[in-house]
Each structure stands twice: as structure tokens, then as C-alpha cells.
Amino acid sequence: MSMPATSSDRVKVVSKLPGWLRQNLKVRTAQLGIEIQTAVEQGIAAWCDLASATAAVDTAGAESFSTFLPPGQWEEFRTMAEDRRVSLIQGLAQSVQLWLDTNPAPEIQRSDITRRIVVCNQKGGVGKTAITAGVGEALSEDPTCLFPVRVAKALTAALRAGDGQADTADNDPLDIEKLPGHGLRVLLVDFDPQCHLTNQLGAAPLAMNGDSLTNHMAGDPKGELRDLIVSVDEENFGGRLHLLPACHDAFLLDVRLSAVRAREAALERALMPLEADYDVIIVDCPPSLGLSMDAAAYYGRRRESEGPGQSGTLIVVQAEDSSADAYDLLTNQMEDLRNDLALDIDYLGIVVNLYDGRRGYIATSSLQGWIDIKDPRVVGLINDLKEQKEAVRMKKPLLSYAPASQQAVAMRALAREIS
Ligand SMILES: Nc1ncnc2c1ncn2[C@@H]1O[C@H](COP(=O)(O)OP(=O)(O)OP(=O)(O)O)[C@@H](O)[C@H]1O
Ligand SMILES: [Mg+2]
């Protein structure tokens, strides 16, 4: 097989390819991070090298398809197709199919230890629940489909916006790339007695007199925790996105935990048996700094043999001054836990949510303030836009309600940034 030619050497060729084959080619090249023209070049070279043509491919409804090949390759291919008495369209379809058959989809990247992402901030209404759901949705999307992702680093945009020069409300189409989903098995844990995540995803809060995460954490289970889990059934998540709904009994969690031995480990003890079923577990924390927050932070600590930044806390803030005090309180609590219990609790980053550069200096200067912290760094910037609120109202996951919206595109960028 020849080395791929550089794009300047290549010549444009126009032929036809059935839509389904073109789609498969598009997805597989994105999965493998290869250019379409390189795949076609390799497919044609491999087809020409065979002793005879491969099985016929159904080319009904083939549409115009153009690509760039090294000089001379198309002529060689034409001759070969004539010799084999197949049409150019059939020969090209066979070449593309041959490439697909010999370049299978990559395996899903799974870590040995289930990653734990603890989404927190005791300040209310900053978007913890929205970010928990959005990141979980992005991580579970179909690996055989392509979804728009903002690839020009969110931070570059943030810095521009931080200078007051640009508003990230503009989605430059050049910054959007279609990439395959991660295909991970994700469990969202609604750890907030307000049950917002549960309600937003259209599930029902657990009954007060039944079993609940609180009961399991308090050492008083009434059954298997696994039996409480529901699936978020939207096509793009393929049965991989699950939710452990909350129960209003979690309002009493801190009281019930006060009688529990090694209570900071209570969430871990409860969730550990579920970990084998998931690649990622994301915990949506309540807006408080009590014992339950200690238990959540403990759950996100770095375990032995786990790399730094695999698990940890993701802090959601707003670009406004009142967020900064809340941030200091939270990071102090985290420091105390680290010191008192000698734990490694990694920060996965700061997400600036509900951003609107048009609000002027307060927004842009606070955003700059978050960026200037640098450690942890800003890993996501999500604008204040209507789709998130609409999705909540419709009780639908944002990424299936508005999959191409700017917010969905930014959630996918955030998911990539922290994975
Ligand atoms: N980027 C966004 N654009 C528009 N609306 C948003 C955005 N993020 C969150 N919201 C809306 O703001 C409200 C608060 O968000 P959310 O419930 O996610 O915050 P929270 O931090 O989880 O709140 P709480 O502290 O009460 O748990 C919700 O109505 C949500 O739909
Ligand atoms: Mg919430």
C-alpha cells in the first residue's frame, strides 16, 4: 500500500457512492481519526491489490461523491475496474467496503476503575444539575453516530470573551466538528433531596416509605440499590444512561449519617456494588456543605492505582461576584477533608455556567477571574440560553431535546475536556 499523498499533490475525482456507505465511511473515519480521502485511497489500493473483485455491493441510489486521490491512482483503478468488468461505481463501493471491513471500529475506552465525578457547589441555582445531566448525556451518546462538538477550545473562546472582545454566543461553524459519541455506561446519582435531576429527566422521586439511597447510606437498606435505578430511554443513549432517582428523605441524610460509623465513606459503601455496571458515575450534589457533601467528596477521592484527574470534583460557578465567596467556602471544606483524612481529592475543573457576555463588565470580568485561578482551570463555558430551560420544562435530556444547540455542543466539549 502506498504512503498517503499530501493534500496538495492530490487530484479531485468525482464518482458516486450510495448514501449508507458514505455515512458508514464518515463515521468510521471519525472514530479512527482518519481523513476520508486517506481511507478511500487505502481502500482503492487494497482493492487493486486483490486477485479479483470482492462481493458485489448494492449501489442502488448512489449519489455524487467526490474526494482527492494521489495522481495516477484513479487511472490505475479505472483500468483495474475495466479488467474486472465492474463499473467504476461498483469498484469504488467495493473498495470503500473493503476498507471498512479491514478497519473495524475502535473499542470503547473503559477505565479499570469506574470514574466518579462529583458535581458540586453549595451555592444554589448555578447549574449543578444541568451540568450533571449534560455531561452524563454526552458521555453515553452513541459511538456509531456523529454529534456536533465545539472543538476550538472552550477556553480560547472564554479568553476572547474575557477580554470583552467577543461573545461566545456566536457559534462559529468552523469551530464545530462532528465526532462519534463516547458510548460509555453512565449512572447519574441524584444526591439532592430537592429531586431536581430526577424530575428534569422525567423520572419519579422515590416514595418516602420505600427504599432509597439515604437508607443504604444509613445502613438500613430495604432491598438492592440496583433495583431503584431507571434507564433514561432516548435513542442516542442506547440504554447506557441510567439514573438513581432521589427521595425527599434525603433531607434527613445528615441527621441519619451522624449515627453512622465512618460516615464520610457512606456514599462509597452504598454505590460501590453498582460500579461494575458503569464506566462513569456522576453525583449531583445538593446546595449545601454538610456531612453529605463530605461523603460525596470522599467518594470522588483518588483511589489507589487510579491516575490523577480520573475522578474528582467538578465545580460549577456563575460569572458573577457572589459566586466567588461560595467557591472559597467549598474549596476550604475540600482542603479540610484532604488534610483531616489524608485524602487526594482532585479537582476536575471549574465550569462557568449561565454565561452571557452581553451582561457586560460584571460577566466578562468575573469570567476572567475564574480563568485567572488557573488551578483548577476552567474546563467548560456554558452560555445562558433558552434550550436548557426548555429541556427542563419538557422533562427531556438536553442532548436529545436540542442535540445541535449551542449548549449541547458545549456540553460535549466539556465532557471531552474532563475525560
Ligand atoms: N446554561 C443554562 N442556560 C439556561 N438556563 C440554565 C442553564 N443552566 C441551568 N439553567 C437553569 O437554571 C436553573 C438552575 O439550574 P440547576 O437546577 O441546574 O442549578 P443547581 O445548581 O443544580 O441548583 P440547586 O442548587 O438548587 O441544586 C434551572 O431552571 C436550569 O434549567
Ligand atoms: Mg441541583
Residue to substitute in 196, 201, 251, 313 for testing ligand 1 pocket (most ligand atoms within 8 angstroms of CB): 196
Report pLDDT for 7: 58
The three-state secondary structure class of 145 is: coil
411 lines ligand 1 (CB under 6 A): no
Report pLDDT for 172: 60
Find the angle CA(70)-CA(73)-CA(74) to the nearest 5 degrees.
110
Residue with cell 470522599: 298
What CA–CA distance (Å, rounded) separates 418 from 110?
A: 14
The three-state secondary structure class of 211 is: coil
Residue with cell 456494588: 273
Report pLDDT for 157: 56
Residue ranges in the chain modelled with pLDDT below 50: 1-2, 162-170
How many Å lie between the centroid of ligand 2 and the Cα of residue 121? 9
How many Å lie between the centroid of ligand 1 and the Cα of residue 209? 29
Report pLDDT for 8: 67
What CA–CA distance (Å, rounded) separates 55 from 62?
A: 17
What CA–CA distance (Å, rounded) separates 316 from 67?
A: 44
User: Is residue 160 within 8 Å of 216, Cβ to Cβ?
Assistant: no
Report pLDDT for 6: 56
The three-state secondary structure class of 193 is: coil
For the whole prediction, is pTM greater than 0.85?
A: yes
Instruction: Assign residue 333 a region (left: φ > 0; alpha: ψ between -120 and 50; beta: otherwise).
Output: alpha
Report pLDDT for 162: 46
What CA–CA distance (Å, rounded) separates 165 from 197?
A: 35
Tens-digit pLDDT profile for residues 219-254: 999 999 999 999 999 889 999 999 999 999 999 999
Residue 39: all three cell numbers together: 481511507
How many Å lie between the centroid of ligand 1 and the Cα of residue 129? 6
Q: What CATH topology corresponds to 115-417?
A: Rossmann fold (3.40.50)
* Ligand 1 closest atom vs CA 126: 21
How many Å lie between the centroid of ligand 2 and the Cα of residue 129? 4
The three-state secondary structure class of 270 is: helix
C-alpha atoms less than 13 angstroms from C-alpha of 169 in its C-beta half-sphere: 13
Report pLDDT for 400: 96
How many Å lie between the centroid of ligand 2 and the Cα of residue 133? 10
* Ligand 1 closest atom vs CA 391: 31
Report pLDDT for 174: 59
354 lines ligand 1 (CB under 6 A): yes
Report pLDDT for 360: 87
* Ligand 1 closest atom vs CA 122: 25
The three-state secondary structure class of 223 is: coil
393 lines ligand 1 (CB under 6 A): no
DSSP 115: E
197 lines ligand 1 (CB under 6 A): no
What CA–CA distance (Å, rounded) separates 417 from 67?
A: 32
DSSP 165-184: S--TTS--GGGEEEEE----
| For the CA of 318, the nearest ligand | 1
User: Is residue 116 within 8 Å of 281, Cβ to Cβ?
Assistant: yes
User: Is residue 362 within 8 Å of 320, Cβ to Cβ?
Assistant: yes
Q: Which amino acid is at 302?
A: R
Report pLDDT for 152: 64
Report pLDDT for 163: 46
Report pLDDT for 290: 87
